Amino acid sequence: MANLYKKTTLGNGLRILSVPMENANSVTVLILVGTGSKYETKDINGISHFLEHMFFKGTEKRPNTLQISEVLDSVGGQYNAFTSKEVTGFWAKVDKLHVDVALDWISDIFLNSKFDEKEAERERTVIVEEANMYLDTPMSYIGDLWEKLLYGDQPAGWMVIGEKENILSFNRKKAVDYYKTHYSASNTIVCVAGGIDSAEMENKVKNYFKGIEKTVEPQKLKATESQKEPGILLHHKKTDQTHFCLGVRAYDMFDERKYALALLSIILGGNMSSRLFIKVRERNGLAYSIHTSADETSDTGYLVTQAGIDHKNLERAVELILQEYKDLKDNKITEKELQKAKDYLKGITSLSLDSSDSQASFYGIQELFEKNILTPEEKFKIIDAVTAGDIKKVAEDIFVPEKLNLAVIGPVEEKDSGKLKQLLKI
């Protein structure tokens, strides 16, 4: 499965990754920039996401949104962008015959966007509606409340999309100022994966991106974490289900224990034969969907279980989840259960890497954050080396009261917090 990726760093600091895929018909061009909402201050929280939208509003060559979108629509391509806490990305996926179209298009919007004032005015209301959509979707919004509970009033705890008051204040000047101070050759990666020749692609990328400027690489404040007892955040909303996130603080991406944590999350709630899926859904019929995942960034990390349940079953669901947390802390898992989790993790990784967009992301994200790329095979060796004892050590470390947190959306009242807090024992 190994792909012989090639990395080149230009004199201005721009990194180019090329990942050839034998027999692939598609090519994905992915631009990753090392900035996001963790790089913002309170008064401009949401500007990273706002700026991402503005890249699609017109360049000198393609003056409006229609002309921007028609380019790749005309060749059946796929394209989009995304903003997170620590990275902003832009991508285009096309038939390999149209790779020059994709490169010309993505370099144009990235380097030559006009950030027109009238477009900025219009886009503010579009993003407010996007924010409203998230706020009206408890299954999505509960994740924001979970991170707010963990990190509070610091960038790690703010919503990527920003507060509505901020969004409505954004204009061309704020967008351009942020672009000039946070988009630099030195914190940008262009990754091209799929049916390509590495040498040829490297020359093309150099040509299309020769106009990128080098500025001072932006800095962010490191997230601080402080917790001495279980934490609770209740958000009252009239909903048909109560949605909750129950979990613990864990490890950042530079901690080697993240591999054991990933396996632990799979054992708990990573698939339809996981402990919590069987216990909470199949045995007790409390939830349609329940899932446990591990998340890590450059300076934070956590393990969290999320579910939607009938209001009356909240306490019971919390108790059942905590029972499984405690069991992993108190008892070593079997070799069979460990091997199943390893094979699952390696299997889903292999399946995902069939596509050129996943390959671009796999290599690009590693380079952006860790500046050290492991191939799938190298990652699999690390996963295979994890022992049942390693899993138990991680469980003993994270499943403690002072790392435990519960965020809830539903018809809950503040008076319910005391009763719920009493349940948070492990």
For residues 19 and 90, the answer to whether their CB atoms sit within 8 Å is: no
Running along the chain, 426 residues long, what does each successive block of 10 average in pLDDT?
80 96 96 98 98 98 97 98 98 98 98 97 97 96 98 98 97 96 96 97 96 86 94 96 98 98 98 98 97 97 98 97 98 98 98 96 97 95 98 98 98 91 94
Q: 288 with 321, same domain?
A: yes
Q: Which amino acid is at 264?
A: L
- List the alpha helices (DSSP H) in 183-293: 198-208, 258-269, 275-276
**pLDDT at residue 217 in the model:** 82
State pLDDT tens for residues 136-167. Answer: 999 999 999 999 999 999 999 999 999 999 99
Give the strand order in the sheet containing 301-309.
Answer: 231-236, 404-410, 242-249, 301-309, 287-296
Q: What is the DSSP string of 312-345?
A: GGHHHHHHHHHHHHHHHHHSPPPHHHHHHHHHHH
Decide if 396 is inside a domain: yes
SS3 call for 188: strand
Residues 36 and 166 in one domain: yes
Least Cα distance to 204 among 102, 352, 345, 86 occurs for: 102
pLDDT in tens, 269-323: 999 999 999 999 999 999 999 999 999 999 999 999 999 999 999 999 999 999 9
Same domain, yes or no, for 191 and 337? no
Which of 260, 223, 82 lies closest to 147, judged by CA?
A: 223
Question: Are residues 72 and 25 located together in one domain of the fold?
Answer: yes
End-of-domain residue from the set 162, 177, 208:
208
* Any domain includes 213: no
Q: Are 108 and 49 in contact (CB under 8 A)?
A: no
Domain span at residue 242?
231-423
Specify whether 186 is located in the same domain as 268: no
Residues 243 and 203 in one domain: no
First to last CA, the chain: 42
197 and 237, same domain (yes or no): no
Domain count of the chain? 2
Mark whether 52 is an active-site residue: yes
Tell me if 386 is assigned to some domain.
Answer: yes
For residue 270, being part of any structural domain is answered with yes
Query: Does one domain contain both 269 and 137?
Result: no
Residue 178 sits in the same domain as residue 237 = no
CA pair distance 159, 250, nearest whole angstrom: 20
Shared-domain flag, residues 135 and 172: yes
Q: What is the dihedral of CA 402, 405, 411, 414, to 10 degrees?
A: 30
CB atoms within 10 A of CB 201: 24
- H/E element, 362: helix 356-370
| 89 & 191 share domain | yes
pLDDT at 218: 87
Query: Rounded to whole angstroms, what are the CA distances from 98 to 28, 69, 103, 196?
Result: 11, 15, 9, 11
- The answer as to whether 215 is a domain residue is no
Find the CATH number of the domain harbouring 302.
3.30.830.10
Catalytic one of 22, 40, 52, 378: 52
What's the pLDDT at 317?
Answer: 98
Q: Which helix (H) or strand (E) holds 378?
A: helix 376-385
Residue 125 in domain? yes
pTM given for the model: 0.95
Buried b vs exposed e over 64-87: b needs ≥16 C-beta within 10 Å?
eeeebeebbeeeebebebebebbb
Kindly report, residue by residue over 181-203, the tens digit of the pLDDT: 999 999 999 999 999 999 999 99
